[in-house]
Chains A and B, each alone.
Chain A
Amino acid sequence: MKPGFRQSMAWLHTWAGLVTGWVMFCVFVTGTATYYRADISHWMRPELQAAAVEPGVAVERGAAYLKVHAPKAVAWFVSVPQAERPLLDVYWFDSFETPIRQATLDAGTGAPTTVRATQGGDFLYRFHYELQMMPGLGRWIVGASALVLLVALMSGIVTHRRIFSDFFTFRRDKSAQRGWLDAHNVTGVLALPFHLMITYTGIVTLAFTLMPWGITSAYRGDELRFFVEAGQSPAWRAAAGRPADALPLAPLMARAQAEVSEPLEMAIINNPGDAASTVVAVFEEPKGLAHRHPQVVFEATSGAVIARFGTLKPAAHVFTSFLGLHEAHFAGPALRGLFFLCGLLGSATIATGLVLWAVARAPKAGAVPGFALSLVRGLNLGTILGLPIGIAAFFLANRLLPVAMNERATWEGAVFFAAWGLAAMVGLARPYARTWREMGAAAALLFLSVPLVSALTTDRGLDFAGFDAAMIAIGLTLAWGARKVSHYRGPARLRAATAPEALARA
């Protein structure tokens, strides 16, 4: 490639970083937002007030709805309402070949909810790992991009001769390129352990999509049996083919709860209505890193306990700890805030790297930039400012679209993509420095208008003060960035050198 290991790694870092940068910027930004998924969902359903419902009662209500609407399903899932999500979510599979189906119910009545239809924070969460595409394709694109990012990270570390001193180096005034390089280095090195951790553990969350060959060779492709043997999932009990009455669910849930100290999260009813039906009580993760849920499995007709899950063997424990580290469910408010800041630093590292690529290849004054450079500049604008514009528009759509609208949740997503697409087209059509401050100002105004529009369209007072403060902070940061770009007049040293007194001294 290049003479010398470090030079070839610098080349690899530049190009691996460029090709994966746009997708990974979107994945980092939406993933960072997902640390506050529950808060976003809460904000996006302003009609919803928390209602305390007994978990057992909630499970019965969900099952009653499913008995009417999905009597022939092979499995029911009832997700118990939580303080941060006071809704009753039910899911079911009509068969193993059909996709999962879902309904959101009012926790108090068990009837379909009347709050505005929205995907809430789940929209950004699903975008984070499947880009709102077909799941298979989206996950492969995200997974492959993350692998390229991991290569870019490793080669970036090798490239870095002075990793410690660069920690304290920021030469904003030396030249535009030095300033961007130092910004890239500072944001990259400051949170480097986080960047490595989040990228590797992120790949592990998609591990069996990207690398199913261990299960192929050792289990002949039987993924369910792997999870059963790993102690993460109960064995599937085939239907007996004859109907039988099941016991009420609430007492089973209470019996399971007596054994487990964590609160109930979900009930799973396999082969509902069948003589061989089983009921699984799934609990929240205990304190600790590992992403594992204690489970108690009952026979639905007799109430006998068939299996219990909770402890894992070492490798499975490490594997699930990787997932836990990525999702940070264990983190309290302070640690969650730190993860959020690290996520922002990661997004900034990618953004400054993308800009640096374009700045380092800027043509001499007066020369016309080539097609490749214009394309990169346009994609940079369309991604780094386009995605925030899309997110702000998504939040505004949540407040401004009529509550009773048909397919409302889909329309919110459509507004997100329309606003982003428009911004991307502007960026591609006008890839100039001026566009940065124009689009930056537009993005800032959109974010600053979110709390205002929310206050005018809802009556929740200061309930969402945290969310509003975040919107204002993002808006002000974007406004500050746009101002910085518009006031930038080239390196101070060069300005000084061409100033009359400097010339006189020379």
Chain B
Amino acid sequence: MPDEAALRTAGLGWRWRALVAGRVALAAFGGYGVAALATAFLSLALPMARSEAVATATLLSFAIMVGAVIWVFSAHTLSRAALGLAVPSTLLAAGLWLALALVDTAPPA
């Protein structure tokens, strides 16, 4: 563990720990957030019957979350990792907002 050792010997163990904690929090909450937004968006946007779209989106959501977590821990810096989640989250949130406005989800009368 080269950089951990470097940070520790430089008396920066606390900084390393804070960075790790930041990645863990980003992976857990950010990763879940991206997956949840993708599920909500795809459930409305996929061109298939509504129940089929929900099933497909929900099945995919866990792969999306795992991909996001791997990204968070492989990015070079914490801020890059955060940016990499923020961009798709923003796009998905905008798409979801549009889809909620356009798709009729009212229960049948």
Contacts and interface: CB of A to CB of B under 8 A. Distances in A.
| A, B: real partners | yes
Interface of A: 1-3, 5, 8-9, 11-12, 147, 150-151, 154-155, 200, 203-204, 207-208, 210-211, 213-220, 222, 225-226, 229-231, 313-316, 318-319, 322
B52 A315 contact: yes
Contacts of A155: 70, 73
Q: Closest 6 A-B residue pairs measured CB to CB?
A: A214-B43, A217-B40, A230-B51, A315-B55, A214-B54, A229-B51
A7 to B, nearest CB: 8
B107 A225 contact: yes
B65 A147 contact: yes
13 contacts: A2-B1, A151-B70, A155-B70, A207-B62, A211-B61, A213-B36, A213-B43, A216-B40, A220-B106, A226-B51, A230-B52, A313-B51, A319-B59
Interface residues of B, number: 42
B45 to A, nearest CB: 10
Given A207-B59, A217-B105, A218-B43, A316 B70 contact: no
Contacts of B43: 213-215, 217-218
Nearest to B48: A315
B2 A318 contact: no
A313 B49 contact: yes
Contact of A229 (B23, B39, B50, B61): B50
Contacts of B63: 200
Contacts of B55: 230, 315-316, 318-319
B74 A1 contact: yes
B40 A151 contact: no
Given A151-B70, A319-B59, 9 more contacts: A1-B23, A2-B3, A12-B70, A12-B73, A12-B74, A204-B58, A208-B58, A210-B62, A216-B40
B96 interface: yes
B66 A226 contact: no
B42 interface: yes
Contacts of B49: 229, 313
Given A12-B73, A151-B70, A203-B62, A313 B57 contact: no
Interface of B: 1-3, 23, 35-37, 39-44, 48-59, 61-63, 65-66, 69-70, 73-75, 96, 99-100, 103, 105-107
A9 B41 CA distance: 30
Interface secondary structure of A, over-half rule = helix
A296 B61 CA distance: 33
Interface secondary structure of B, over-half rule = helix
Contacts of B41: 217
Contacts of B96: 217
A1 B76 CA distance: 6
Contacts of B50: 218-219, 229
Most A CB within 10 A of own CB, among B2, B48, B54, B56: B54
A222 B58 contact: no
A200 B2 CA distance: 33
Contacts of A231: 51
Contact of B62 (A12, A211, A213, A314): A211
A356 to B, nearest CB: 16
B70 to A, nearest CB: 6
Nearest to A13: B73
Nearest to A203: B62
A217 B39 CA distance: 9
A200 B62 contact: yes
A147 B59 contact: no
A276 to B, nearest CB: 19
A223 to B, nearest CB: 10
B54 A218 contact: yes
A12 B1 CA distance: 12
A252 to B, nearest CB: 28
Most A CB within 10 A of own CB, among B73, B103, B105: B73
A108 to B, nearest CB: 42
A213 B60 CA distance: 13
B58 A218 contact: no
A155 B55 CA distance: 26
B64 to A, nearest CB: 10
A144 to B, nearest CB: 8
A40 to B, nearest CB: 30
A214 B42 contact: yes
Contacts of B66: 147, 150-151, 154
A419 to B, nearest CB: 34
Contact of A207 (B23, B58, B69): B58
Nearest to A153: B66
A484 to B, nearest CB: 31
B62 A315 contact: no
Contacts of A316: 51-52, 55
A9 B74 contact: yes
Contacts of B65: 147
A222 B70 contact: no
A378 to B, nearest CB: 23
A215 B39 CA distance: 9
A314 B75 CA distance: 37
B73 A11 contact: yes
Nearest to B99: A217
A313 B53 CA distance: 11
A217 B70 contact: no
